Amino acid sequence: MIERRAMKRIPVNRAARLSFGELRETHPCLVRDINALGACISTPYYIFADEFVLSFDGHSGVFFCRIAWRKQTLCGVCFLLRRRSPKAANDSDTLANVVRLDRHLIAT
């Protein structure tokens, strides 16, 4: 069999949880193998979503995933880079903190 992946995957067979969009509940899965770019995931159900969040330890370390392929209850995923959007420069909380800082400097 010809290996098509950019990086070799490491077998882990480790339990993890999936979360979808705004749903609060998580769903069980098994991460069969993984590398820095993606993973192979087995679930007791067919995954209909194209993107989801994968977590090994209760949401402190998460991977944003996109489905690369599906075969019944087995799927391959690519990891996505997601960053929080920066606060706007005119954010009222930021402005209030700057005003408080200025008053503190004037008072001292």
- pTM for this structure? 0.68
**Residue range 54-67, pLDDT digits in tens:** 998 765 678 999 99
Tokens read off for 86: 């920066």
Contacts of the segment 59-68: beta carbons below 8 A, 24+ positions apart = 59/19, 63/39, 65/38, 65/39, 68/38
pLDDT reading at 77 higher than 60: yes
Counting the structural domains of the chain, the total is 1
* AA identity, residue 81: L
- Residue length of the chain: 108
pLDDT at position 2: 55
In a domain, 54, yes or no: yes
pLDDT at position 54: 93
CATH number of domain containing 17? 2.40.10.220
* AA identity, residue 58: G
CB 31 within 8 Å of CB 63: no
In a domain, 4, yes or no: no
**Residue range 16-47, pLDDT digits in tens:** 999 998 777 889 999 999 999 999 999 999 99
In a domain, 69, yes or no: yes
Q: What is the residue range of 59's domain?
A: 10-80
In a domain, 100, yes or no: no
